[in-house]
Amino acid sequence: MIQDSLTTGTSYGRVCSMSELEQPDIDVPALTALLDGKYADIREMTRKNLSEYAHVLDDAIEMPSAEFRERVLELVKAMARTGATGLGFPPEYGGGGDIGASVAGFETMAFGDLSILVKVGVQFGLFGGAILQLGSKNHHDAYIADLVTGDLMGCFAMTETGHGSNVQALGTEAVYEPETREFVITTPDRRSRKDYIGNAAAHASMAVVFAQLRIGGRSEGVHAFVVPIRDEEGHALEGVTIEDDGEKIGLNGVDNGRLSFDHVRVPRSNMLNRYAEVTEDGRYLSEIENVDRRFFTMLGTLIQGRVCVGGAGISASKVALAVAVKYANKRRQFGAPDSDVEELLLDYGMHQRRLLPLLAKTYALHFAQEMLVHELHNVLSTTEAPDRQRRALESRAAGTKALGTWHASRTIQECREACGGAGYLMSNRLGALRADTDVFTTFEGDNHILLQLVAKGLLTDYSSSFGDLDQLGMVRFVANLAVETVVERTSAHKLLERIRDVLPGGNDDKWDQEAGLLDPEYQLAMFRWREEHILSGVARRLKRGMDNGMDTVQVFSQVQDHVIAAGRAHVERLVLEAFVEKNAAMVDSDNKVALNMLCDLFALSTIEADRAFWMEHGRLSSARSKAISREVSSLCRRLRPLAEDLVDAFGIPAEMLKAEMLDDPGAA
């Protein structure tokens, strides 16, 4: 029979001591310090800035969009003067010289108004990041000091009306003229106009424009150019057409606009030339000969924006959970027939089931994001990072961003519903959070496309020979491999052998019956098996389609859902590993006990949500599935008394938890 999941697990993982069955007493400041990590001082500085600018939350509701845009601009420039927004730039230009600190500050800034956050991201992350990462010293000298202070406002003009994720197919052209030593920037049609560009509609005087470089009729692929778009009075320059995108679902403090160019001329020196150069006489030079690899290398340097958006989504989830948990710990509804006291919402099992697994996943994603930021800092701080390491970082950033922003959308909506009618009022923060984060799932790449990128990296093992393949190239690559080679690479069969070796009897029945539910090795083995099985299945389907003579487009389309599932399973495994690793490194304490419970809840609620997959493939019996559901409910009950302390540990300034329902005396 199945073991009681609260008894000792197997010999290969964490066990539950009897002390863990007692209710822990959380040390909130210590847990906040753990979450803040290496950059606690930066996060605290950002919290203080947020508290000083708390009135902007009212402004977002009360002001017309045009007026609110100016207020956001004013506050972004004020934050720039504190140095909080320039942490990732070199000290010689007024920056802090610390990429990790920059991301930590950005994540914490997401506790506040998200129009300010996105405006900061556009100005310092996208516009400034492009000049820093794609330009050379002459560009740095010309622009960075002024953009760090906010004296030079810019925008990042990549996305087009007809081309979003497919950046290689952008329509905007930059034609080089040797006789004038100038690039001529042109928008050939309406599909090629730059669209949804933050800072473009009102405030940017300059744009980093991504365009197809053409020299003597030959295309050299997409490159970036610094293009002035407004004069000192704010008027559009000759040849530049600027339109306002108008009202959006959210983020109306950000001036998104459209840019079109009619033979706009810029000097040869305005091409950002870290990876390629055009000589005066029109010769194209680059150390990276392959056009696809050159393109992906350029985009790879801009990965910080993707990391920041994912982190911001996780932070927004924290705010929503803090509001919903605190409200549920005050608001009463119904009760025993013979009692005059109604029950707290958070005492209801269903309410716990709605909020606490989301809280557990938020903690899990926090630690996964922390690990990602550490890798980002290490890779971007050196020019000698191996290609394989950069590919792995790009894949992890893509996947974490996808899961983090999807989690934000789901969490904020659930928190809104859990607060009933009160959650629908703009005075209670959740509506603004829902509207402002909705676009995060498509910011910095559509999440489904990003998970395809993750799966491509898994299938090609981040090989430098295949790392630049598009989706059709990936299909052809897999088709030319023996499927067994892909399965061997994923080592799914080795994983099963390992599982059977560590369990008494070495068979599937023992696997199902004797692994402790709260054993992290059991949880990780389940996540790993799912990932490896889906990935090897993708490889088989790709090869079978090609062997049957199907067109590569058709083959990929038919397995696309499996490709995305493989990417998602991979990232969920990375998230669990990060949480388990973080907990293992902690000294024994009540905080560690609480985090172990959260980790268990994240792992088991994830298995529960996808139980059909494991049951279909013989990895989970119906009895075991029921036991997992019971354990999830048990963990929710045990975490319920800790819930408010766990959200307090996020360190969200009280001014940012602006919700009238939390102050309502009728809620208690």
124 and 59, same structural domain?
A: yes
Residue with tokens 């000294």: 587
213 and 106, same structural domain?
A: no
Torsion angles phi and psi, residue 185, rounded to 5: -95, 125
Can you give the length of the chain in residues? 668
Determine the longest span between alpha carbons in the chain, in angstroms: 92
How is residue 507 written in tokens?
A: 């068979």
211 and 126, same structural domain?
A: no
Specify the higher pLDDT residue, 87 or 548: 87
165 and 147, same structural domain?
A: no
Residue 496, CB-side half-sphere exposure with 13 Å CA sphere: 15
Pairing of strands 343-344, 332-333: antiparallel
Q: Which of 67-71, 149-153, 419-423, 480-484 has the lowest mean pLDDT?
A: 480-484
Q: Which residue, 537, 556, 585, sits at the end of a domain?
A: 585
Residue type present at position 556: F
**CA 531 to chain CA centroid, nearest Å:** 20
288-316 mean pLDDT: 89
How is residue 239 written in tokens?
A: 């040849």
- Taking residue 83's Cβ as centre, other Cβ atoms within 10 Å add up to 15
239-243 mean pLDDT: 98
Q: How many domains does the chain have?
A: 3
User: Within a domain: residue 74?
Assistant: yes
pLDDT of 353 reads 97
Q: Which of 6-10, 135-139, 179-183, 577-581 has the lowest mean pLDDT?
A: 6-10
- Rounded-to-integer distance, Cα 176 and Cα 170, Å: 17
127 and 251, same structural domain?
A: no
Comparing CA positions, the residue from 246, 378, 358 lying closest to residue 647 is 358
Q: Which residue, 289, 310, 337, sits at the end of a domain?
A: 289
Confidence of residue 489 (pLDDT cuts 50, 70, 90): very low
pLDDT of 11 reads 33
Comparing CA positions, the residue from 408, 409, 411, 400 lying closest to residue 450 is 400
- Rounded-to-integer distance, Cα 131 and Cα 417, Å: 43
pLDDT of 475 reads 54
539 and 481, same structural domain?
A: yes
Whether 335 contacts 341, CB under 8 Å? yes
611-648 per-position pLDDT tens digit: 999 999 999 999 999 999 999 999 999 999 999 999 99
User: Within a domain: residue 489?
Assistant: yes
pLDDT of 10 reads 33
User: Within a domain: residue 196?
Assistant: yes
Torsion angles phi and psi, residue 224, rounded to 5: -110, 140
**CA 451 to chain CA centroid, nearest Å:** 12
Average pLDDT, the chain: 87
What are the beta bridge partners of residue 277? 285
pLDDT of 668 reads 45
Rounding to the nearest 10 degrees, give the CA dihedral for residues 283, 287, 288, 289: 50
- Rounded-to-integer distance, Cα 148 and Cα 83, Å: 8
579 and 467, same structural domain?
A: yes
254 and 131, same structural domain?
A: no
Residue with tokens 């905007």: 172
How is residue 463 written in tokens?
A: 């090989």
User: Within a domain: residue 284?
Assistant: yes
Confidence of residue 383 (pLDDT cuts 50, 70, 90): low
Rounding to the nearest 10 degrees, give the CA dihedral for residues 439, 444, 445, 451: -100
Whether 429 contacts 330, CB under 8 Å? no
Torsion angles phi and psi, residue 163, rounded to 5: -145, 115
575-592 per-position pLDDT tens digit: 999 999 999 999 999 999
Whether 245 contacts 256, CB under 8 Å? yes
Whether 21 contacts 593, CB under 8 Å? no
Range of the domain at 466: 452-585
Confidence of residue 476 (pLDDT cuts 50, 70, 90): low
pLDDT of 647 reads 98
CATH number at residue 212: 2.40.110.10
Q: How far, CA to CA in Å, does 1 sit from each of 344, 403, 620, 629?
A: 37, 36, 14, 17
Confidence of residue 116 (pLDDT cuts 50, 70, 90): very high
Comparing CA positions, the residue from 189, 51, 173 lying closest to residue 109 is 51
- Rounded-to-integer distance, Cα 280 and Cα 259, Å: 28
171 and 93, same structural domain?
A: no
DSSP 191: G
Indicate whether 544 pLDDT > 70.
yes
pLDDT of 13 reads 45
pLDDT of 422 reads 85
197 and 127, same structural domain?
A: no
User: Within a domain: residue 294?
Assistant: no
316-375 per-position pLDDT tens digit: 999 999 999 999 998 878 767 776 777 888 999 999 999 999 999 999 999 999 999 999
User: Within a domain: residue 654?
Assistant: no
- Rounded-to-integer distance, Cα 437 and Cα 118, Å: 10
User: Within a domain: residue 441?
Assistant: no
Please list, in sequence order, all residues whose beta carbon lies within 8 angstroms of the beta carbon of residue 145, skipping any fewer than 6 positions away. 93, 94
Q: Which residue, 548, 565, 585, sits at the end of a domain?
A: 585
Q: Please name the residue ranges forming H helices in 301-386.
A: 303-328, 349-380
Residue 615: exposure state from Cβ atoms within 10 A (0-12, 13-18, ≥19) = middle
Confidence of residue 664 (pLDDT cuts 50, 70, 90): low
Indicate whether 418 pLDDT > 70.
yes
Indicate whether 474 pLDDT > 60.
no
Whether 602 contacts 360, CB under 8 Å? yes
133 and 171, same structural domain?
A: no
Whether 527 contacts 569, CB under 8 Å? yes
- Gap between the terminal Cα atoms of the chain: 45
144 and 161, same structural domain?
A: no
User: Within a domain: residue 329?
Assistant: no
CATH number at residue 144: 1.10.540.10
